[in-house]
Structure 1
Amino acid sequence: MKYLYSFLVVFFIQISFAQDITFRIAFEPNSKVRHQVDDLLTNYNAQTTYSFAFTEERLQEMEKQAIKISGNAESIHNIRNTFDIQIHNLTYEEEIELLRQLQNFPSVRYCEKVNQKIIPPPYDIAPETPDYTDSQIYIYENPGVNMEYAWNLGYTGQNIKVKNVELGFNSSHEEFNDSPHIRFAEDYTPVSYEDYWEHGTGTFGVIAGHNGEYGVTGLAHDIEEAVLFSEYTYEYGYNRVQAISLAIQNSAPGEIIIYELQTGGAGWTEDDPKYVTAEYEYSVWDLTKAATDTGIVIVAAAGNGNQNLDAPQYDNYMQRGHSGAIIVGAGSPDLQHSRAYFSTYGSRVDLQGWGWNVLSTGYGDFAKIGNDMNQAYTMFSGTSSATPIVASCAAVLQSYYYDHTGEYLTGMQIADILKDSGIPQSPGDDGNIGPLPNMEAAMAIALSNENTPIQKRFRIYPNPFENQIYIETVSSSKPAEMRLFDISGKLIDQRHFTEKTELNTAHLSAGIYFMEIISQNKTETFKLVKSN
């Protein structure tokens, strides 16, 4: 009986740990040695599929946009080469060993296990609903963001489209039910998850609540659309990167995507998830970089894990570089603007919004008129309430800038303007979460010369270049003069143009060049690289 008992125990342990696993693997673009990975996976009868939702047509379009806006399309090449690998019946030990082997191949940029469990979002009609606008203190001057100033000038988010990635929202709420532009993404059926859907309801209330005589008023209530891309659908199951890639697939330069998301941080456990910003996952970072390189604005929650992103355990994340996203921490709803104890923080966090006392739609803890969830209101909190406040400021600032220039700011330009003009975090406060936006000050500097980005006057692409360079004037049609020099200062080419011109550079040697463009008595200098 002793031997039989031991055999049964071992057999039980082996069966209990066998499970289906999905890895996400990103290859180096143009890698010639992927067959090594393929040979290894053959032993596991693995099924491989493309990780994201992009069509080939959209990827080609994004490559062109990235070259124009960012000078190269490397980030698009990265998302082209990312795949999900599904393997059945792996033990924990086999999973760890296979992950180690995959990560060590020189052709692999990264390999990570795909989370199969839902990650919570980052949140700590008659009878007549009262008008709660006066209770939305965050609308007004310090300690609020002074969005009222923008409203008084007529800027309420016009001509700007916003996407939100999370689980869902209550589209039947009285603040949205008569607004067809506030909706779920078409062609995908979200799985109803009532507790988490109220979270999305709160998000949309902050941004797009109806501007009427009842309930709340959204900070950017006249945005052209607010569309939710659900992480959990009948078509794809629970799949965060699919939702993000679908949002990017359906966005254009200048539009805004919000990540009301967080993920487990370094050394996380189920009991202590150490929540950080969603782009800590490498696949989300890649998608974010591809989006921002094409001019899409990403605004993302920092997460509610009280994590220091400058700590050594986050070195690998920080060393990837800047994704271009605006990362939002949670601060106090008072004149101190101190970091909320739960907010993740660090030099990578750009701006703060209120981390509690944010009156919005959903839940019903503040009011539930007639005991009806479609007339429910809440005091929203967490980096979840902070993020839509900052996203709304980005949308209204973008609307203002577009109205005056016919062009869009990038996310990093919006972040710089909001940071330069914002209300500082409390001096000596522990853990950087950045300033709170101040819309009056932001709008005052948005159109000043020092904040009008060079690339809004001229587009020079591609960079690095090979056989051709294209130059376009963007913000005016004034005459300009172009001069191209090699690294020794020798003049290579010189010409006058008005709107655009192109240079044949096939005869130039590989190396570094400098271009001067002179227009309206101002000279701008650009460093260019010929790759071969």
Structure 2
Amino acid sequence: MSQEAQKIAMTPQQGKPELIVIFESSAGVRAQSSPGMTAVASSSGNDVSGVQSILSKHNASLKLLFGPNEDRLRASLVAASSTAQKIGQTPPDLTPFYSVQAAEDKLDQLAKELRAERTVKAAYVKPGAAPAIFAQPDKVSTAAVASVTPNYQSRQSYLDPAPKGVDAAYANSIVGGSGERMKVCSVEFGWLFTHEDLMENQSGVIAGTAPVADNHGTATVGIVGADKNPYGVTGIVPRAISCASSVVDQTVAAAIKNAADKMSPGDIIFMSLHRPGPNTTGSGQFGFIALEWWPDDFAAIKYATSKGIIFVEAAGNGYQNLDDPIYETARAAYGFPSSYPNPFNTANPSSGAVIVGGGAPPEGTHGHSWWGPDRSRLAYSNYGSRVDCQGQGYDVTTTGYGDLQGGGRPELYYTDTFSGTSSATPIVASALCAAQGILKDFGRRPITGEECRQLVRSTGSPQQDGLQGPKEGQRIGNRPDLRQLIPAALKLTEWRPNARL
């Protein structure tokens, strides 16, 4: 295998821990960083010398999380408010959020000392995010690669009519159903946008630095927008513009905010990542949960949805009931502020994101049936009242990895075994993109995040009982069906003014 092939075949990486500080809004903190030091000041005359002393003692620096400086961030929030008001939304205040750069072994102590400062509302350490793939696909196939890649579309059951799939052909038979003129952004570690099946409708990395190619991101983007041609796979919305925001040189929250600033109302951001939560044991992915549980990630997602952007988020592969009381009680132990209540509790304010669980694929997919009945909850998938809908969580055929077609060139890799809430999330994102594209062509306004949540909960192919027991109490929701979703979206918007934001 070539050196480049070895790089892309590597196991997806996990991000580094992050220390996030939320200052009191009245503190008026301003931070000016240079290599090795940070000058902390207060525009409102508050005493921030204690914060300065703590940073200096630990050789740490402070950086505004959501912008290059305080003035530019405030200007961007004013602009976002103008868009948000058109759909009756108010973007969250992102100005109090800062990140601390320091040696990893000092982060917990720094957080403890910072929490004691009067101007600090909260300080917490977040474990690194990781791709929400459940099982790493088999090793790269060494079989000879044909001069022209075979057509694998028949293996993409998620394209099929319901209940097997989302019925992509139905959507694509309607003008705009291919997602034409829509933009879909992946928040990820890396992608291979030179893949042979990702050449036509992509704009590459729009925020952050282009990272080393990675199979996981390549597989998720292939589900969404793989080119419509006679070979390889076909995306659910092949005419949508695929793009990406990298978490290699940005925090996850910053990657979301920076992507949202380059997108328009109705566009889609999806995130096939999860993070170790309070029940994590260190054994595999047990205890991993959706990222919005952390206040800065929640705020970034809320910022995107308040601008009319649809955010689709992996529920995570942690075997967790997200209704577990620990997601309430552990927030204080983590150092979260009480003003950011548990978002998994549906009685609390919502981020507006569509959260996606992992469901079993149709029986017999690729000759397998060991996972249980179609659309039943897969054992690894998190579940609960906050989970809105499901996508296929095993045996997904897409670009990348090389277990279906391998050889020595990553640009020709395909997989038959992509899995996890990683595979489920872009399937749902694509279905919503198809509906938005059709709404635009009918001159309707785009549907909002909360309306998307309503639609995927009220339409689709229903969840079934599974090997884990009855579906009651194990909610992952319905699998989207575009033949139901699109008419429901049109009906939802038909009484509104035919205005585009």
Shorter-chain TM-score: what band?
0.7 to 0.9
- The one of 425, 436, 461 aligned to 1:423: 461
Query: Structure 1's 43 and 376: CA in aligned 2 closer, same or farther, altered over 3 A?
Result: closer
- The one of 61, 76, 79 aligned to 1:47: 61
- The one of 87, 95, 100 aligned to 1:80: 95
Is the contact between residue 398 and residue 415 of structure 2 (CA under 8 Å) also seen in structure 1? Answer: yes
Partner of 1:294: 307
Query: Structure 1's 43 and 373: CA in aligned 2 closer, same or farther, altered over 3 A?
Result: closer
Is the contact between residue 263 and residue 280 of structure 1 (CA under 8 Å) also seen in structure 2? Answer: no
Partner of 2:4: none
Distance 2:122 2:349 in 1: 15
- The one of 300, 303, 306 aligned to 2:319: 306
- Aligned residue for 1:305, secondary structure, equals coil
TM-score normalised over the length of structure 1: 0.73
Aligned-pair CA distance for 1:332: 0.7
Amino acid at match of 2:321: N
Once the two structures are superposed, what CA deviation does each residue of 1:427-463 show, in whole Å capped at 9, x if it has no partner? 5325111110010011122222xx238xx83xxxxxx
Which has the higher relative contact order, 1 or 2, with Cα contacts under 8 A spaced 6 or more apart?
2
Q: Which consecutive residues of structure 2, in runs of 5 or more, have no partner in the other structure? A: 1-15, 30-41, 136-144, 332-341, 363-372
Distance 2:219 2:295 in 1: 28
1:130 is aligned to 2:150: yes
Is the contact between residue 275 and residue 303 of structure 1 (CA under 8 Å) also seen in structure 2? Answer: yes
Is the contact between residue 166 and residue 229 of structure 1 (CA under 8 Å) also seen in structure 2? Answer: yes
Distance 1:287 1:437 in 2: 26
Aligned-pair CA distance for 1:90: 6.5
- Aligned residue for 1:405, secondary structure, equals coil
Amino acid at match of 1:302: A
Query: Structure 1's 366 and 126: CA in aligned 2 closer, same or farther, altered over 3 A?
Result: closer
Amino acid at match of 2:159: I
Higher share of residues assigned strand: 1
- Aligned residue for 2:98, secondary structure, equals strand
Partner of 2:493: 452
Query: Structure 1's 68 and 151: CA in aligned 2 closer, same or farther, altered over 3 A?
Result: closer
Percentage identity across paired residues of the two chains: 31
Distance 2:477 2:174 in 1: 27
- Aligned residue for 2:186, secondary structure, equals strand
Is the contact between residue 223 and residue 234 of structure 2 (CA under 8 Å) also seen in structure 1? Answer: yes
1:347 is aligned to 2:385: yes
Is the contact between residue 225 and residue 236 of structure 2 (CA under 8 Å) also seen in structure 1? Answer: yes
1:26 is aligned to 2:25: no
Equivalent residues in 2 for 1:93-242, closer than 5 Å: 96=108, 98-103=110-115, 108-115=120-127, 119-124=130-135, 127-141=147-161, 142-154=163-175, 155-177=177-199, 179=200, 181-186=201-206, 188-192=208-212, 197-223=214-240, 225-232=241-248, 236=249, 239-242=251-254
Partner of 1:436: 479
Distance 1:107 1:68 in 2: 34
Query: Structure 1's 257 and 38: CA in aligned 2 closer, same or farther, altered over 3 A?
Result: farther
Distance 2:151 2:261 in 1: 38
Amino acid at match of 2:188: E
Distance 1:183 1:97 in 2: 42
Is the contact between residue 29 and residue 81 of structure 1 (CA under 8 Å) also seen in structure 2? Answer: yes
Distance 1:416 1:343 in 2: 21
- Aligned residue for 1:345, secondary structure, equals coil
- Aligned residue for 2:25, secondary structure, equals coil
Is the contact between residue 24 and residue 114 of structure 1 (CA under 8 Å) also seen in structure 2? Answer: yes
Distance 2:206 2:19 in 1: 28
Is the contact between residue 191 and residue 216 of structure 2 (CA under 8 Å) also seen in structure 1? Answer: yes
- Aligned residue for 2:355, secondary structure, equals strand
1:475 is aligned to 2:498: yes
Aligned-pair CA distance for 1:31: 4.8
Asked which structure has the greater CA Rg, the reply is 1
Is the contact between residue 224 and residue 427 of structure 2 (CA under 8 Å) also seen in structure 1? Answer: yes
Q: CA RMSD in A?
A: 2.8
Is the contact between residue 21 and residue 88 of structure 1 (CA under 8 Å) also seen in structure 2? Answer: no
TM-score normalised over the length of structure 2: 0.77
Once the two structures are superposed, what CA deviation does each residue of 1:200-235 show, in whole Å capped at 9, x if it has no partner? 111111111111111111000011x11111111xxx
Distance 1:381 1:407 in 2: 34
Distance 1:377 1:96 in 2: 42
Amino acid at match of 1:383: T
- Aligned residue for 2:446, secondary structure, equals coil
Aligned-pair CA distance for 1:401: 1.4
Q: Structure 1 residues 263-272 or 340-349, which shifts more?
A: 263-272
Amino acid at match of 2:271: Y
- The one of 232, 237, 258 aligned to 1:246: 258
Count of residues in correspondence between the two structures: 420
Distance 1:90 1:153 in 2: 55
- Aligned residue for 2:275, secondary structure, equals coil
Aligned-pair CA distance for 1:390: 0.2
Distance 1:68 1:42 in 2: 44
Is the contact between residue 444 and residue 499 of structure 2 (CA under 8 Å) also seen in structure 1? Answer: no
Is the contact between residue 53 and residue 245 of structure 1 (CA under 8 Å) also seen in structure 2? Answer: no
Once the two structures are superposed, what CA deviation does each residue of 1:254-281 show, in whole Å capped at 9, x if it has no partner? 1111112111111425445521112122
Distance 1:51 1:244 in 2: 11
Query: Structure 1's 187 and 404: CA in aligned 2 closer, same or farther, altered over 3 A?
Result: closer
Once the two structures are superposed, what CA deviation does each residue of 1:464-499 show, in whole Å capped at 9, x if it has no partner? xxxxxxxxxx4379xxxxxxxxxxxxxxxxxxxxxx
Q: Structure 1 residues 427-436 or 339-348, which shifts more?
A: 427-436
Distance 2:104 2:459 in 1: 55
Is the contact between residue 53 and residue 249 of structure 1 (CA under 8 Å) also seen in structure 2? Answer: no
Query: Structure 1's 312 and 107: CA in aligned 2 closer, same or farther, altered over 3 A?
Result: farther
Query: Structure 1's 89 and 305: CA in aligned 2 closer, same or farther, altered over 3 A?
Result: closer
1:324 is aligned to 2:320: no
Once the two structures are superposed, what CA deviation does each residue of 1:22-44 show, in whole Å capped at 9, x if it has no partner? 62112343457974555244244
Amino acid at match of 2:253: V
- Aligned residue for 1:207, secondary structure, equals helix
Partner of 1:374: 411
Once the two structures are superposed, what CA deviation does each residue of 1:166-191 show, in whole Å capped at 9, x if it has no partner? 011112211013x2x42432574333
